[in-house]
Structures are given as structure tokens and as C-alpha cells.
Structure 1
Amino acid sequence: MEAFYIVLLVGTVLVLAAALSSLLAFRFGAPLLLIFLSIGLLAGVDGLGIRFENYSFTFMLGSLALAIVLFDSGFMTPIHSFRLAAAPAITLASVGVLLTTGIFAFAATILLNFNWLEGLLLGSIVASTDAAAVFFLLRVSGINIRDKVRSTLEVESGTNDPMAIFLTIALAELLATGQGFSGLDLHFLFLFVEEMGLGVICGLFGGMMIVWVLNRFTSDRGLAPIFVLTLALLVFSFTGAMGGSGFLAVYVAGIYSGNRKMFAKPQIIRFNEGLTWLAQIIMFLVLGLLATPSQFPAILLPAIGLALFLIFVARPIAVWLSLLPYDFTQQETSFLAWVGLRGAVSILLAIMPVLSGVENGQLFFNTTFIIVLVSLLVQGWTIKPVAHKLGLIIPPRIGAVDKIELDLPGTAHHELISYRVMKDSPILQGERIPRWAMPSLVIRDGRSMRYQYAGRLKENDQVYLFISPAYSKLLDRIFASQVPVDEDDAEFFGAFAISPTRPAKELDAAYGPGLLSANEQNMTVGDLITSRLGGRADYADRIRFGSIILIVRELDEHEHVRSIGISLEPVEPATNLPIFINMREIAHRVRDLIRKYRGKHLAKPGAVPPEGPA
């Protein structure tokens, strides 16, 4: 019992230190997950002297924590964001991981003197981005970027782990058994298809089960989060036992259940948020304890070289090639290439060579640990400056808004929402609450009163309203603080605005001609933008139209384009190098070169103009 109390005391002190360190991290902009990892290193064998060498326990604990993080990540992903980013994200999670593995393996064979199979194993270990690191940094970094870019990063980090795990296990088995490349056959392909297929199927049915159970067998809101957690872990473990990818299954289950109406959903969200924090802290602390920093100097220089190669060469090339078919700008592709953080997933996978008995297994673990540290230092600390440099920071649509969604019992078709009246908000400037909203209660200075008797609303009043779920965003604008439009915002949205109902032919006549396809000839400008954006336009979306840029300035309550800006200045390229451009941009550049060549040819003395109508 004395030993138990000592272990518990040390563990709680470490978790408390990690939690308190988050306050400093938020203040100074430090990558918080790096701090968690560093606390584990400082408490380990080369720091305070805590000796911890249980690789099997660490792998199981880390896998459990990762499953919790992935479920919460899926649960908080809106279905429209998933649909928007599914194709490019899944391409990055499959083709991108394979390309990163192969490109990285080349550098590993040179810097670490590995053979190709060993290089591919290390490449598969570090090929996937870390879900915990990406979700955390994007959600707390305070940057506001296009929904398509953010969703692509989040969905990629949630779906690329199964591919990396499969490759790592397969390659570690080939190395441990001495089969080499001769052991590769169709069996591995069938095994991969089986794992991914079972992961998706079990995830969908698991999500349905979670929603069904929560809406029928719970009566206490305190038990609802416990049901969700245990059912999510049931999906994870059952899928793994069946030979499928439990990580993919729990992520899919999170997406399905998170986008359905469920009993006590606000309580579930708050519980998951706290549990995810705890899972991340414990996962990074234990991984830090497992490392032995005194072994790092022997491989420090080649490991740092590999980390820089991964950041500046392997990841960017893999991202660019994977996203060529998709309509991402050069700036967006550059940002997607940069936010490829490595974290707990890579360190967890680096345990596999040790557990599998691969020769020099500890070398794989130490090299991966250094790569993760460099990634969190270089990329984790620079996400916001890079987004600013690339011009991806979107001016805020509304100011600060304090809103709480309250759960109603049964299958009510209305939501009960509470707003705090913010300073300088439109509601204080005389804006009226729409008739479709039903205000019921106002809390002022600790006293509650009916809305009818509250008089004019005041700053910091808490207002409770019944509304239809579809109109929540419109109310946000009324209760939010006002956002002044500065020079940068005006520059972002173009020199002037046009109506989306104008015929696209007028735009083509002014800035074309010949830029519209046959199907686009009879469209309005708003329909043209929506069509070229894949059927859904979002705030601040941009498309190129010849020499100009069309920008979505405003959307109505039904998410239809209300105002369009025109920028006469083309967006500055992220780099002058011919990389990070998509297929459409390549076609534009080829067409411009052909036009220049023809222009120079016709400008020569004696050149004969082509025959045709005057």
C-alpha cells in the first residue's frame, strides 16, 4: 500500500504540473503538447530518476488514450466539414502516407545507414500526422482559416493513423522474421482492405448503436457521458478483436454519433473535452518517462537532419502530389504541408520495433522521439506566423459571442440557447430579436425576470431563447460584439463588391472572354462560385477568374452567397518555385505561356495573322 500511495502521489503531481503548465503555454504561445512531453522527460531516468521501461503497458495505455482523442475529434467534426474535406483528406491519409514513407526512407538509408526495408519502417512510423497535436493546435491557436483547409487537416489526422499503423506492423514483422521484401505478397493487400473495411463498417454500426442506446436507455444526464465513453471503447476493442482498425472505427463512430440528436449532448461534449485533455496529458507524460535522453547524443545530428528532411522535403512533396487534382491554392497547399505535426502516434508506433524484436529497435524509438521533438518545436511554434505569412487568416465574421446550448428532453424541434449580451453588440444598438425567436428569461445581476418585464437589455445580461436549430448563426450576429473592418479586411475582400445575382456572362465579357464553360454560360455569378467550389460556398472562399479573384464576402442565413468581392490584384504566390500549384493552375500557366508565345510570334515583322472572321 505504501508503494501504491507513492506511485499515485508521483502520478498526480506530474498530471497537476502538466495542467498548470498549460496556463503558461496559453500565455506565451508555446506548443502545449511539447511541454507535456518535456515534463515526462524531466521526471524520467535522466531527470528526477523515475525509471520506467514497460513498453507493452505504454503501447496499450497510449492506444487507449489515442482512441479517446479520436472519438472526441470525430464527435466534434460537423458532417458538412467532413463532406467538404473527405476526398482530399482521405487522399492525404492514404496516398500521402505512402509517398511520405517512400521519400523519407531514401534519407534514412543515407543518414542512418539503414537498408531500404529499415528505412521504410522508420518512414511508416513518422509518416502520419498526430491527431492530438493537430486538433489541439488548430482549436486553441486562435487562428481563423478557411473551413476547407481546417477540416482537411483535422480529417487527415483522424484517418491517416490506420494506414501508418498497418505499414509499421507489416514492415516490423518482415524485419523481425528476416523475410525481407520477399515476404511481401497479396496477403498484405487483402489484410489492409479487411482492416479498413471492417473499421468503416464497425464504426458506422457502432455510431448507430451509441445514438440508439443514448436515446432509449438513459434517464440520468450524469450517466450519459459514461454510456458514450464505454460504448466508444466497446466499438474500438470489438473492431480490433475482429481484425479491423479500431482507430478508424472509433473515429467514424464519433462522426456519426456527433452529428445526430442525442440525449444530454451538451453534457457529453463537456465530459469528452475534459477526458480528452486528461488522455493527452497522460499519454505524453508516459511517453516522456519511457525515453532515455542520455542515449540521444549518439544519433542527434542524423535524427535532426531526418526531422528537417521530413518537414521541408518529404511532407511537402507528398502533400503537393496528393492534392494536385483538388482546387487548393498555392498558399493553402503550403499551409497543409507545414501543419504536418508528429506527436504521440509516431512515438507509439516506434515502440513496435522494440516489441517485435527488430534489430536496433531502440534506435528506431530514439530517432523517432527526436524527430517528434523537432516537429513540435519548429512546426508547433510557428503555425500562426506561417498562416499570417501566407495570407490565410480570415477576418472575423463576428466578434466575441458567449453562447450556451441547453439540451431539451425528448425529440423537441427547438433548442434552448442562452446568450450573454456583449459590449457594443447589435442588440445594444437597437437591433430587435427576430419574431421566430422566443425569448423567455433574462438574468440580470443575479436576479431572474421574464423577458417581457426586463425592459431594454443591458451589457452582461443573460438571455434565454427558444429557437429553431437552423437559425442559431443568425442570432450569433445579433448578440456578438461588433468587429470593425480595418484596412487589412478591406484588402482581403477586394476593391469592390458585386451582387451574386448578376449574370456570369457580364463578368466573362469584362474580364475574359472565353473563361466560362458551356454549362456556366447561363449561371449567375453566385452560382458560378458555388459550382467551382464543389457545390458549397463558405465565408471568405476564393476562386480565380482570369486575371481577377472572386471572394465570398457574406452569406445569408441559408448559407447562400449574399455579396461577392472582386480583387483586381492577384494573390501573391506562396513561392516562385513551380510547386504547390493544382492542376487548374497548371492549365492556366500553360495557357498563358501559349498566349505569350503566339503574341510574340504575331508581333514579328512579316508575321501572317491567322485566317478567320474579322
Structure 2
Amino acid sequence: MFEEAIWFLVIGALLVLMAVARGLIARLPLTGAMVYLIAGVALGPAGVGMLNPDIEGNLRLLRILTEAGLVVSLFAIGMYLRVPLSDRLWALTLRLVGPAMIVTIALLYVAAHFGLGLPSSQSLLLAAILAPTDPVLANELRVKEAGDDEQLRFALSSEGGSNDGAAYPVVLLGLALCANPSAHTSMPWTFVASVVWGIVSALGIGWAFGAGVVILVTKLRTRYEQALGLEGFFALGLMALSYGCALLAHGYAFIAVFAAGVALRREELKATGDMLPTEALESVERGEREEAAKDPDLAHAYMAETMMAFAVEFERLVEFALMLLIGSLVSAHWRALLDWRVIWPVLFLLFVARPLATTISLVGSSLDRPQRWLVGWLGIRGVGAFYYLLFSLESAGKDQLKAIAPIVLGSIVLSVVLHGASATTLLKWYFSRK
């Protein structure tokens, strides 16, 4: 009973502290993820020993919880991206999700295979786990509100929302090679077809659910005054429907959730027009919000903004819980992270592979040189890499991941620290320059 009381006190104090100090942290070279990571280390085995997670005994549960957190974050990012699909900003997304990710995977594969001497299967798996940027920990980098079309923020936000799903087939290929090293020689066209189907089906399913739910609910509200309230239920339900249906169809479910968020916002954009949803709703008093939900001119904006607010708040709790967990793992295995065979691949990822891959992919794009440089540096690794590490441990076992796991964990730690410490200063410089 005493231990439970201490836990409630610690968690409550951390949550209140972060809520009170949010403005101060935003002005300092700090992020919430850094604070949570430090707290996790302090609470872990190397600190006071309050948090000592049993990864092997709870692997499936931890993987599902991390997966759910990613789903919420991807949906929230999709709802932030309020620009027409014909806008050239989406070309930046395609460059970063396509060529940039492929080059990153190739460079990491070469480093792991020839630099570390890992087998091809483990090298590819490590490269795929570390290739995607993180959607959860990039709050400071994403667009400020729905409708923000600043190029740097849009590029980083849309990349983080889509490349977790894009990395999935390469992770599966790496796991298949770990189980059967000769698998790459059999039926390559089957793999290509599965990738095409996985992407196309996920986009279709996510778009159908995202657009369909908002059309149905707004019609019920504006015509029949039904289905009012409980925006959080609609948000979670839409995420679960998109994700579950994509899994059943063997689509890449992370892409489906992101597409659902984009589709929902697209319906709001069509209904509200050039006016930002916050502007459309600013005259609505708190006690009149139910009336706004029934107003044909405001219903789409109201639904989109309230669902997005719920998802973002939920996402902050996910960040809090998962970074505490990652911090406790660092606390338990910190000695393994100090090995030079762990440190140099992490430095190679952050200082060579990511910048070089983005530089190549963004040649001829609408971004200027400082913007391209910032995109190359601000590629945060975090919860997405941690999810794929848990997923791979569950699928292939710890023997296959023994050499990989410390590198993944080290990449998350160094990325959170370096990117978190530099992001505020760099963004201030960037916007003052503009």
C-alpha cells in the first residue's frame, strides 16, 4: 500500500510539474521528452529502483501499448495537415517518405553490415527500425495549428505521420530474412505486390473511414440533432476502425490511421473553406458549443477541432508514459549503451545517414538551403523505433536482436537529448531569419 501511494505521488507530481512548467520548458533548450527520459532513468534500477520493467515477461502488452500510442499520434498529425491534396507541400512528403527513407536504409545497412559485421538480415532490420522519424516526440517541430502551411514544419510533420507505415514492409522483410536467410531469393514480385497492396489498401481504408465518419456524424447533427458530444469516442472509434480494418485487409495500418486524420480534415476544409477553423469557431461561447455542433456552417470545424484537441491531449499522456518506460530501460542497461560499437552507429545515423539522405532527396525541391539543412538535422527518433524494436523482439526473439537493441535504444536517447536541446534554438534562429 505504501509503495502504491508513493507511485501516485511521484506520477502526480510529475504531471503537475510539467503542466506548470510548460511555458518555461518551451523557452529553454528542453523538451517534455527529455524531462520524462531523465525521470525514467532516475526511477529505474540505476536510480531509486522504483521502475524496473520486465520486458520479456510483458513484451506483448508493452508492444500493444506502444502501438496504440503511435496510432493516436499519427491520427493527430493527420488532422493538423489542413492543405489541399493538390498543394505542392505534399511533394515534400513524398520526397522524404520515399527517396530519403530508402537512402537512409541503404546507408544504415552498409554501416551495420560492413562496419559492425552483422548478417544481412540483422543489418536490414536495424536500418528499417531506425529509418522512420518519430511522430510522438516531434511536438515542437510540427505545424502550430490546422492550416499552418509553413514549409519546414509541414515537411517534418507529414514525414513523421507517414514514414512509420512506410518502414513497415522493410521491417517485415528484415524479420523474414532473420527467420529464413534465403527468403530474398524467392518470389521478389510477391513482395513488391504486397507492398503496393499494403499502401494502396491502407490509404483507401483510412480515407473511407475518415471521410465517411465525419459525413455521417455531421449529417446526423445538422439534420436530426443526434450524435452530439463524446468527440473523444468518435476519435478513438475512428482510429480503431481504420487500424483494425487495415490489419484485416493486410494493409499497412499506420498509414490508414494517418490517412483517416487527413481525410477528416479534408472534409472540414471543404466545408469551412479558406477561413481557418479556429477563426470560424472563435465567436462561439463555451455554453453554445452544442449549438455550433448542429450549425451546418460550423459543424465540420467544431468536430475536427474537438477531435484533434482530444487526440493531442491523449498523445501527451502517451509521450509521458512511454518515455518513462524507455528511461527505465536506459537505467537498467546504461553500461551497454557506452560501448563504442553502439555509439558510432548512432552518430552515423544522426550526423551522416539522415542529413545525406534528405539532402539527396530534396534536390530541386521548394526548400532553400537552411530549410534543407534543418530537415536533415531534425529527424527525431523515438517511440516509432521503440515500437519496431518491441515488434521485432516479439517476432524474432532476443537472440536475433541482441546486437541491435542497444543501438536502437542509444539512438532514441541521443536523439531525444541532441534534438531536444537544439530544436528550440534552431527554430528561433530560423523564424527570426524569415
Measured against the shorter chain, the TM-score band is: 0.7 to 0.9
Q: Percent identity?
A: 20
1:370 maps to which residue? 410
Q: By percentage of residues, which structure has more helix?
A: 2
Q: Write the deviation string for residues 45-88 of structure 1: whole angstroms up to 9, x where unpaired.
A: 44324332222111111111111111111112112488332112
Distance change in 2, residues 1:215/1:43 (3 Å): same
Say if 2:427 is the partner of 1:393.
Answer: no
Distance change in 2, residues 1:184/1:46 (3 Å): farther
1:509 maps to which residue? none
2:350 to 311, 315, 333: 311
2:175 to 172, 175, 198: 172
1:331 to 343, 364, 370: 370
1:215 maps to which residue? 218
Amino acid in structure 1 at the alignment position of 2:257: V
Secondary structure, in 3 states, of the residue corresponding to 1:324? coil
Distance change in 2, residues 1:115/1:18 (3 Å): farther
Say if 2:355 is the partner of 1:300.
Answer: no
Q: Let me know the Cα RMSD of the aligned residues.
A: 2.9
Q: Write the deviation string for residues 483-532 of structure 1: whole angstroms up to 9, x where unpaired.
A: xxxxxxxxx6xxxxxxxxxxxxxxxxxxxxxxxxxxxxxxxxxxxxxxxx
Say if 2:390 is the partner of 1:351.
Answer: yes
1:255 maps to which residue? 262
1:361 to 401, 413, 416: 401
1:380 maps to which residue? 420
Output the TM-score relative to the length of structure 2.
0.80
1:591 maps to which residue? none
Secondary structure, in 3 states, of the residue corresponding to 1:382? helix
1-side partners of 2:335 and 2:306: how far apart?
A: 44
- Aligned positions of 1:83-122 closer than 5 A: 83-122=87-126
- Higher relative contact order (CA closer than 8 Å, sequence separation 6+): 2
2-side partners of 1:66 and 1:249: how far apart?
A: 12
User: 1:33: how far off?
Assistant: 1.2
2:37 maps to which residue? 37
2:320 to 262, 274, 281: 281
Structure with larger Rg? 1
Amino acid in structure 2 at the alignment position of 1:164: A
Contact 2:337 2:406 in 1 (8 A): no
Contact 1:125 1:350 in 2 (8 A): yes
Amino acid in structure 1 at the alignment position of 2:95: T
Contact 1:121 1:172 in 2 (8 A): yes
Amino acid in structure 1 at the alignment position of 2:401: G
Amino acid in structure 2 at the alignment position of 1:29: P
Q: By percentage of residues, which structure has more strand?
A: 1
User: 1:13: how far off?
Assistant: 3.9
Distance change in 2, residues 1:237/1:113 (3 Å): same
Q: Write the deviation string for residues 7-49 of structure 1: whole angstroms up to 9, x where unpaired.
A: 6973784365155246263353302212223323333344324
Q: Write the deviation string for residues 404-437 of structure 1: whole angstroms up to 9, x where unpaired.
A: xxxxxxxxxxxxxxxxxxxxxxxxxxxxxxxxxx
Say if 2:170 is the partner of 1:162.
Answer: no
Q: Write the deviation string for residues 450-495 of structure 1: whole angstroms up to 9, x where unpaired.
A: xxxxxxxxxxxxxxxxxxxxxxxxxxxxxxxxxxxxxxxxxx6xxx
Distance change in 2, residues 1:81/1:195 (3 Å): closer
User: 1:242: how far off?
Assistant: 1.4
2:232 maps to which residue? 225
Secondary structure, in 3 states, of the residue corresponding to 1:337? helix
- Aligned positions of 1:141-156 closer than 5 A: 147-156=150-159
2-side partners of 1:101 and 1:267: how far apart?
A: 38
Aligned residues: 388
1:17 to 14, 17, 32: 14
Distance change in 2, residues 1:27/1:384 (3 Å): closer
Contact 1:74 1:252 in 2 (8 A): yes
Contact 2:176 2:183 in 1 (8 A): no
Give the stretch that moved more between structures: 191-200 or 116-125: 116-125
Secondary structure, in 3 states, of the residue corresponding to 1:87? helix
2:51 maps to which residue? 50
Contact 1:173 1:356 in 2 (8 A): no
Unaligned stretches of 5+ in structure 2? 269-298
Amino acid in structure 2 at the alignment position of 1:79: V
Q: Write the deviation string for residues 234-261 of structure 1: whole angstroms up to 9, x where unpaired.
A: 1111111211111111111111112334
1:78 maps to which residue? 82
Secondary structure, in 3 states, of the residue corresponding to 2:421? coil
Q: Write the deviation string for residues 141-189 of structure 1: whole angstroms up to 9, x where unpaired.
A: x9xx971222111111111111212211220121123436435722211
User: 1:107: how far off?
Assistant: 2.0
Distance change in 2, residues 1:164/1:259 (3 Å): same
2-side partners of 1:292 and 1:177: how far apart?
A: 34
Amino acid in structure 2 at the alignment position of 1:158: G
Contact 2:201 2:246 in 1 (8 A): yes
Contact 1:168 1:352 in 2 (8 A): no
User: 1:225: how far off?
Assistant: 2.9
User: 1:291: how far off?
Assistant: 4.9
Amino acid in structure 2 at the alignment position of 1:268: M
Distance change in 2, residues 1:220/1:190 (3 Å): closer
1-side partners of 2:228 and 2:45: how far apart?
A: 44
1:466 maps to which residue? none
User: 1:335: how far off?
Assistant: 1.1
Amino acid in structure 2 at the alignment position of 1:157: G
